[in-house]
């Protein structure tokens, strides 16, 4: 009886140890999945160097803050090949870490991206009919530097038309940072900066890229371009969310 009790306890201890090891492995795996650097062994610097040698990038310097950006022609459009970094009211560093800004740019609420009052987060700019018509015009500048503007929904659609209808955005995703490297076949260099909810929570850093359109989507939303490792689409999100901005050159 005593021997059986000892054996029973030993077996129970072994079961507990095995369970603890498995839980530890799951936690370790989850931690690695949350870290972009652990997901992809292609370094940012190597990725950028490869793009610099593969594409005929132009450059543009924002006179407001001296920030210089790569630019790239895709189809008939010229895009910034980096996320906007201009520090405006209503903008945030990805994951609330200013060291992320150089690579990932800043995150902007919709009203910040358009450079309009915060009151239009939950109501249409049509309240100010002059402002409304300005936003509807081609090349509406918003927070973009001089000579550039916030893309319209139509301009995002034009960019997407360069790729197959079933594209998941692999042509736009960078080869670095993402868990599954993109092809970045046009030099757009989309990086997963994630986004910020109005309550201050940062989400999907290293997993998702979102970019504003100037166009409204209902009363409290606006269109955004979204790129994940599995999809590319245009849909509405809350204007109070803070996401990335890519600028397109005036024509």
In a domain, 54, yes or no: yes
Question: In the chain, how many domains are there?
Answer: 2
pLDDT at residue 4 in the model: 56
The CA distance from 58 to 61, in Å, is 10
Q: Do 191 and 101 fall within a single domain? A: yes
Q: 142: which 2 tokens?
A: 């918003």
In a domain, 8, yes or no: yes
pLDDT at residue 33 in the model: 46
In a domain, 39, yes or no: no
Tens of pLDDT along the chain (251 residues)?
A: 455 545 455 555 565 455 544 644 444 444 444 444 456 789 999 999 999 999 999 999 999 999 999 999 999 999 999 999 999 999 999 999 999 999 999 999 999 999 999 999 999 999 999 999 999 999 999 999 999 999 999 999 999 999 999 999 999 999 999 999 999 999 999 999 999 999 999 999 999 999 999 999 988 999 999 999 999 999 999 999 999 999 999 98
Instruction: Output b/e per residue, 140-169; b: 16+ Cβ within 10 A.
Output: bbbbbbeebbbbbbebbebbbebbeeeebb
Helix (H, G, I), strand (E, B) or coil at 72: strand
Q: Do 232 and 132 fall within a single domain? A: yes
Give the structural domain span for 15: 2-34
Q: 116: which 2 tokens?
A: 């309009």
- The answer to whether 80 and 70 have CB atoms below 8 angstroms apart is yes
Q: Do 30 and 59 fall within a single domain? A: no
């Amino acid at each position: 009886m005593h021997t059986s009790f000892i054996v029973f306890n030993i077996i129970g201890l072994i079961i507990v140890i095995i369970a603890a090891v498995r839980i530890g492995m799951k936690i370790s795996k989850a931690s690695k999945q949350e870290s972009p650097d652990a997901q992809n062994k292609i370094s940012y610097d190597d990725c950028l160097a490869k793009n610099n040698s593969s594409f005929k990038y132009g450059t543009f310097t924002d006179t407001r803050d001296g920030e210089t950006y790569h630019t790239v022609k895709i189809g008939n459009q010229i895009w910034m090949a980096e996320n906007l970094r201009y520090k405006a009211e209503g903008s945030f560093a990805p994951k609330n870490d200013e060291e992320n800004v150089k690579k990932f740019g800043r995150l902007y609420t919709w009203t910040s991206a358009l450079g309009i009052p915060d009151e239009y987060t939950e109501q249409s700019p049509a309240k100010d009919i002059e402002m409304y018509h300005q936003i509807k015009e081609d090349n509406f500048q918003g927070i973009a530097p001089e000579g550039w503007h916030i893309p319209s929904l139509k301009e995002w659609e034009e960019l997407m038309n360069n790729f197959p209808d079933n594209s998941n955005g692999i042509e736009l995703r960078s080869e670095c940072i993402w868990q599954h490297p993109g092809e970045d076949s046009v030099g757009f260099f989309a990086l997963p900066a994630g986004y910020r909810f109005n309550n201050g929570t940062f989400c999907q850093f290293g997993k998702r890229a979102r970019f504003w359109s100037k166009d409204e989507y209902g009363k409290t939303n606006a269109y955004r371009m979204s790129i994940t490792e599995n999809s590319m689409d245009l849909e509405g999100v809350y204007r109070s969310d803070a996401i990335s901005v890519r600028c397109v050159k005036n024509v």
